[in-house]
Structure 1
């Protein structure tokens, strides 16, 4: 039977608060005499102690994480943690953020030239300058935004006389309380009274303290005080418990104040040295222990409150009765809303530190869940809660004493970053395994590898590469880990061999090639690109190299690493002609150079000036059997170009750049029969080609009589079907009819179809009559226009006669 945790609760009006011990005090304790020269700053997971000479950073287990000499920074104005739990060291001229402990990495932001004066104070990313007391906001640790230029609007006497959250700033002038709304950039006087200290919560509640009268005032709307208290003893400190309860600390007790002069106290056996606000409570640090004061969640109060009859309390009692009074235990379940009871037990378990209580509550939830219909309760809620509680207990065992609310606020990524910053890689692996998130393993491996490289100056590249390669083999989700950041760090550290080796381990081919290119490993990068068998990737790589390398370097890359690869021949169309000229010259590719000159001259319509140069280049290949056909073809083209040049001079018409067929067609069009026969004979144009060309030219020129004469001169080597098709293509149906009967080797049906396509119904009727095709005649009858009555009559007579 576990002890009821409510015995340590205190009730303020209708809200319970509890004090729980987090851990023992493992770092050096600061007493009252030392406080003048020492300062302690707390975050959720880290403690900073500032001594006269050093800044020492501890975790909650007492391990010294880092010790910094103050001489490095000069006059320190403020120590504070940012939202990422990184220590911010503010001097009068700079803002320094400790990004990593080992190797030490500090980002410095020099503001001396950006501020009107030196930094006087810094809170939550807001700066108050020394001389003018202007207000600035720091953005992303490297930019300043002037919020308000103080031209005598207020005077802040001490650093306790102002405070801020992310939304507004409260300023205590000598006799006024001013509020500055950051978003609206509006400064307004909200109270006419004197106060000496201000604390503002994240949700906007403001607590004012008057030292003279030892008085507290809390409000959100300045016109309405939520509570006012006259204190009996001057407090040693004032902080918010979470963001809606104000706490004063005294020698060995704290008091939480509520409306109507109500308050509750928590006493401690040792003197209190510090208090610090947390997202869901208040840390109380004594000389020996660290405690957390927080609200009791409603689910927890419902279960453990003395005399509670809430469903969750009855469910927990039923679990206790199960072993000895099973019937009564089961009967109790019928009296309550079982789903509500199960959910409250699960929620309460998440908020507990004590593993025994967690197990008891989860057992009760499992007991109740077993009696619920699967359609009314999602079992994944219970499974996820168990996973989350296991994760929280694991994190706490590593010295991060966080609550469920703090975990939800920090997120798992920040927890992982804190572990990595402290080089707790084994612990980080365990957290990643519980999260089962591939992206977290990637972050973990990159941080480990980068730290290993930077801290292993005595190790050779080969040894380091072997260690990194072996770790990559065993880590989970290794196939999803990108190595580009590790390659980059290796390269910057001067470990070029290591950088190349890690780059070759990269699984993503695009990233691998980019990494190798950045290291000027062009030959290796090309080799890896070719291994992918991806033409697009190889071409992209070549185009990138073309812009980044000199001509000689690029030529060398192509000739040595891909001499026989046909992809480059395809890629020529993407490259500049200027490059191709130089490339072909350097590689003695005279035939390709000749082809390039020829293509360029054709585009410019100036072939003749380049013929001798092209001929000289082709002469290198007279005895090359593979290119003999190409050389012979060029010689024929050369003859044609000379002949065309002669024709251009004779007829004063431009024959240049025309193909052989186009030249023949033009001469036929010009009716130059003598030159037509000469061209046919000179260039051995076949009869079939001649007939096709002349047929097209005569039809295009509507020279139908000449066409008919040409068709009947002698038997056509191409037959007469092309005549018909060329005419029909031009919509000359009447002329096409002449050639249907001349076409040999076609069936009756094909011939009838041709006549009908030409709208020659009379001829179609005659061949149908000859074939005694009644069905064909009836088909023709339907197609004959209505105005050709004599033809319809003829068809009917023929059908009747058949």
Structure 2
């Protein structure tokens, strides 16, 4: 009896059964489809309605102002908004795959709304030509659209996520096409949309780079519809024939002559096995490739909403689903079926009645029991009636008890899916998904649609039930709660949020805080972000809500120098210099990082920082570094203008060093350096030779004497208090350098040199002037020095005599080795050895 009652609802189309299920009684009150433009989203999505301004309608008690109304599939109101958009009448309206409602008005302006009737993205225009000519019609697919202007030009938006309109090839027509259809880009060879225009007795296929004529002589076509897989085209001809043709027009699959030659108001595919035609007379005709069609009569207007496995039928009072009966359901409930699944289902009925026939049925299908269990599970998945689902699953469970090898996970997985489907099919939620639609849509996408409609509790329970991460649900709920609770105090709202947010470990508190900030609740944002465990997320948000001090503390606590630098640069740009210095000076890590960076890139700013914090010696060292950079400048060695700034920098350095008792040496050195540079600069100006600057005091004196400028040399000596002993060395060597032996001799006779005549001897020997050296060697007071000097100029006898006067055995031995190659010198040393009895030395 059960199978008879189930199968009695089916309609046979050739060898295939179809069923029409009533899913909902619509709850939307007085909505009349004949008075409204309707757009229904696939996959059980929402329905948008707006009063059709091209028709004269009775307003009842409603306002004369048009409204955009959005309902779920059960007719439960979700949102509404006044429709007052400029740009002319509404030309087209459809939902994208992301459940964004796209509305196109006559001047080519495109508006996009979310399920709450809120503008969710900026409007955009289809372009100047659409604005000037006006848009006549639009055809949508997935996430794209084509529109046709009054000048018969075609424009396309390939993807609403990146709405960049482009113009397709000019079809070259002079009247509006009889019908229009599009082939989804995913099913075309080029990967771009193809537009089919019914023109005359053929079809024009319009692409971005060309136009083709197809099916010449087959038309004219009054209506067209492309199948879900893009392979077939259902067309209604001018003489009342329904043709199904391959989209390349290479073959006519089947043909059916309708009773009326009037074109249907709507044409749609029902899966891939049949085509639906709907006329204004409220007759719905389902035509298949073979046999007689099936006719359904309605006493109210309907809208056809194609789905991947059937068609939803929307009327003023109900939402129905017309689909081909799944094979598993047919095998169980077809009248007279003796297939294993039917016998297993029948066995359950006998078992419930305690009939022994249950065992007989099981024995009959023992070899096919696993197949029967699988079929019952599959049939349960295709059912919308919960009691029938339960009965089919009980039958599967009953058979599984006698089939130990059947995998348990199939049964458990189906139970999970059905619990999810039954939950979202509830009229409060209103998403009437079939199991095929659910598998194609996927659970994460379904959860996303639930939270977008603010069904957070159902979405959370489904996520937990399917072991999916509930973070996306809780985050969306938290953001929605903040937006919807302007009257709740920040502290109270924080407690409410934290109570739920703690359910999900690793959730991004920073993202929720950012939403609170964008909603104008900066204090709440600061309170939320304090719970963010990841500094890399916490610190940037604290900066965005102007909590710089907290951001700096958190960055320092994290130990991440990159984060500290991020905060430093942010504060640096926003705060006055003194405030910035005060902020970082109290925090050693931030201060040290700032100093490290500024030493290389921001010298002047670093000087300001050191001055503001009283670190004068650090400013002085920076000035010294700047003077060194000037010293390395190639222009500095050529004399001139750069010496002035260098000297001033060093003088500033001296003043800063003098302010601190610990840097007396540095202060004195800087003072001397500046004085020397000024003197050297004057020398270069007077001599017109860039050879003085950056040389030492000794080199400066020596250079002056070499140039014959003895007065300036004496001036340098006096300025820098050069000792008399050092002066003699410098002048002696300078005079020897220019080989002015007379001047050298005169200099030696001015008075007795304070350090003796050794400088004169060394200068002459260094200049390789033996004759001059002999003048001064005898004047050396130390025998050792005389002996060594004579040895250096090769005078062995004199060296030996001086060594013997010194009575220094070590010196005597060293000189003998020095002059060992000179045979005469060796003889002299041997004679002296005997004379002085130095045999023990050797």
TM-score normalised to the size of structure 1?
Answer: 0.70
Which of 89, 108, 111 is matched with 2:103 structurally? Answer: 89
1:173 maps to: 199
1: CA distance, partners of 2:648 / 2:317: 100
Q: How big is each residue's C-alpha offset from its partner over 1:152-187, in whole Å with a ceiling of 9 and x where there is no partner?
A: 2463255x45555444322111332222356x6543
Pick closer, same or farther for the CA change 1:178–1:513 going to 2, 3 Å: same
1:716 maps to: none
2:747 maps to: none
1:245 maps to: 274
- Given that residues 114 and 144 in structure 1 are in contact (C-alpha distance below 8 angstroms), is that contact kept between their aligned partners in structure 2? no
Pick closer, same or farther for the CA change 1:129–1:255 going to 2, 3 Å: closer
2: CA distance, partners of 1:100 / 1:274: 20
Superposition pairs of residues 461-476 of structure 1, within 5 angstroms: 463-475=489-501
1:735 maps to: none
Which of 363, 366, 369 is matched with 1:334 structurally? Answer: 366
Which of 136, 148, 159 is matched with 1:129 structurally? Answer: 148
- Given that residues 161 and 198 in structure 1 are in contact (C-alpha distance below 8 angstroms), is that contact kept between their aligned partners in structure 2? yes
Which of 187, 193, 214 is matched with 2:212 structurally? Answer: 187
Say whether 1:592 aligns with 2:618.
Answer: yes
- Given that residues 321 and 328 in structure 1 are in contact (C-alpha distance below 8 angstroms), is that contact kept between their aligned partners in structure 2? no
1:103 deviates by 5.8
Say whether 1:230 aligns with 2:261.
Answer: no
Q: How big is each residue's C-alpha offset from its partner over 1:20-59, in whole Å with a ceiling of 9 and x where there is no partner?
A: 111113224666xx82x43333233322333243332222
1: CA distance, partners of 2:359 / 2:442: 44
Pick closer, same or farther for the CA change 1:380–1:486 going to 2, 3 Å: same
1: CA distance, partners of 2:275 / 2:311: 10
2: CA distance, partners of 1:174 / 1:382: 56
Superposition pairs of residues 62-73 of structure 1, within 5 angstroms: 62-73=75-86
- Given that residues 204 and 211 in structure 2 are in contact (C-alpha distance below 8 angstroms), is that contact kept between their aligned partners in structure 1? no
Which of 423, 447, 459 is matched with 1:428 structurally? Answer: 459
Pick closer, same or farther for the CA change 1:238–1:594 going to 2, 3 Å: same
Which of 258, 276, 284 is matched with 2:305 structurally? Answer: 276
1:72 deviates by 3.1
Which of 517, 536, 543 is matched with 1:510 structurally? Answer: 536
**Secondary structure at 2:103's aligned position in 1?**
strand
- Given that residues 556 and 590 in structure 2 are in contact (C-alpha distance below 8 angstroms), is that contact kept between their aligned partners in structure 1? no
Q: How big is each residue's C-alpha offset from its partner over 1:486-514, in whole Å with a ceiling of 9 and x where there is no partner?
A: 44444344433233333333332112211
2: CA distance, partners of 1:247 / 1:238: 6
2:696 maps to: 645
Superposition pairs of residues 607-626 of structure 1, within 5 angstroms: 612-622=651-661
2: CA distance, partners of 1:384 / 1:633: 84
Q: How big is each residue's C-alpha offset from its partner over 1:411-470, in whole Å with a ceiling of 9 and x where there is no partner?
A: 3444334433443333333333334432xx44334443444444444x26xx14531442
Q: How big is each residue's C-alpha offset from its partner over 1:251-276, in whole Å with a ceiling of 9 and x where there is no partner?
A: 565332122453234466x5453332
- Given that residues 653 and 667 in structure 2 are in contact (C-alpha distance below 8 angstroms), is that contact kept between their aligned partners in structure 1? no
Superposition pairs of residues 393-432 of structure 1, within 5 angstroms: 393-397=422-426, 398-432=429-463
2: CA distance, partners of 1:118 / 1:85: 26
1:389 maps to: 418
2: CA distance, partners of 1:195 / 1:164: 17
1:448 maps to: 477
- Given that residues 382 and 434 in structure 2 are in contact (C-alpha distance below 8 angstroms), is that contact kept between their aligned partners in structure 1? yes
Q: How big is each residue's C-alpha offset from its partner over 1:628-664, in whole Å with a ceiling of 9 and x where there is no partner?
A: 5x77689799999999934544778xxxxxxxxxxxx
1:59 maps to: 72
Say whether 1:79 aligns with 2:105.
Answer: no
Say whether 1:524 aligns with 2:550.
Answer: yes
Superposition pairs of residues 263-342 of structure 1, within 5 angstroms: 263-266=293-296, 270-320=299-349, 324-325=355-356, 328=360, 331-332=363-364, 334-336=366-368, 338=370, 340-342=371-373
**Secondary structure at 1:479's aligned position in 2?**
coil
- Given that residues 369 and 403 in structure 2 are in contact (C-alpha distance below 8 angstroms), is that contact kept between their aligned partners in structure 1? no
Pick closer, same or farther for the CA change 1:515–1:169 going to 2, 3 Å: same
1:24 maps to: 25
- Given that residues 72 and 78 in structure 2 are in contact (C-alpha distance below 8 angstroms), is that contact kept between their aligned partners in structure 1? yes
1:356 deviates by 1.9
1:611 deviates by 5.2
Which of 379, 385, 388 is matched with 1:357 structurally? Answer: 388
2: CA distance, partners of 1:635 / 1:282: 97
**Secondary structure at 2:312's aligned position in 1?**
strand
- Given that residues 80 and 117 in structure 2 are in contact (C-alpha distance below 8 angstroms), is that contact kept between their aligned partners in structure 1? no
1:393 deviates by 0.9
1:123 deviates by 1.1
1: CA distance, partners of 2:249 / 2:446: 38
- Given that residues 79 and 89 in structure 1 are in contact (C-alpha distance below 8 angstroms), is that contact kept between their aligned partners in structure 2? yes
Q: How big is each residue's C-alpha offset from its partner over 1:756-782, in whole Å with a ceiling of 9 and x where there is no partner?
A: xxxxxxxxxxxxxxxxxxxxxxxxxxx
2:176 maps to: 156
1:219 deviates by 1.0
1: CA distance, partners of 2:627 / 2:396: 88
1:775 maps to: none
2: CA distance, partners of 1:49 / 1:103: 15
2: CA distance, partners of 1:564 / 1:92: 60
1: CA distance, partners of 2:159 / 2:286: 35
The alignment covers a number of residue pairs equal to: 640
Pick closer, same or farther for the CA change 1:317–1:448 going to 2, 3 Å: same
Pick closer, same or farther for the CA change 1:564–1:406 going to 2, 3 Å: closer
**Secondary structure at 1:520's aligned position in 2?**
coil
- Given that residues 77 and 119 in structure 1 are in contact (C-alpha distance below 8 angstroms), is that contact kept between their aligned partners in structure 2? yes
Pick closer, same or farther for the CA change 1:262–1:532 going to 2, 3 Å: same
**Secondary structure at 2:84's aligned position in 1?**
helix
Pick closer, same or farther for the CA change 1:564–1:216 going to 2, 3 Å: closer
2:791 maps to: none
1: CA distance, partners of 2:670 / 2:342: 102
Pick closer, same or farther for the CA change 1:431–1:317 going to 2, 3 Å: same
Pick closer, same or farther for the CA change 1:492–1:171 going to 2, 3 Å: same
**Secondary structure at 1:68's aligned position in 2?**
strand
- Given that residues 311 and 336 in structure 1 are in contact (C-alpha distance below 8 angstroms), is that contact kept between their aligned partners in structure 2? yes
- Given that residues 26 and 61 in structure 1 are in contact (C-alpha distance below 8 angstroms), is that contact kept between their aligned partners in structure 2? yes
1: CA distance, partners of 2:650 / 2:341: 100
2: CA distance, partners of 1:309 / 1:355: 25
- Given that residues 240 and 246 in structure 1 are in contact (C-alpha distance below 8 angstroms), is that contact kept between their aligned partners in structure 2? yes
1: CA distance, partners of 2:139 / 2:93: 9
1:206 maps to: 233
**Secondary structure at 1:505's aligned position in 2?**
coil
Pick closer, same or farther for the CA change 1:29–1:217 going to 2, 3 Å: farther
Q: How big is each residue's C-alpha offset from its partner over 1:267-319, in whole Å with a ceiling of 9 and x where there is no partner?
A: 66x54533322221112234533211111222332333334444434443454
2: CA distance, partners of 1:410 / 1:553: 56
Q: Note the aligned Cα RMSD (angstroms).
A: 4.0
2: CA distance, partners of 1:327 / 1:409: 39
Pick closer, same or farther for the CA change 1:147–1:114 going to 2, 3 Å: closer
1: CA distance, partners of 2:575 / 2:477: 35
1:17 deviates by 1.6
- Given that residues 460 and 474 in structure 2 are in contact (C-alpha distance below 8 angstroms), is that contact kept between their aligned partners in structure 1? no
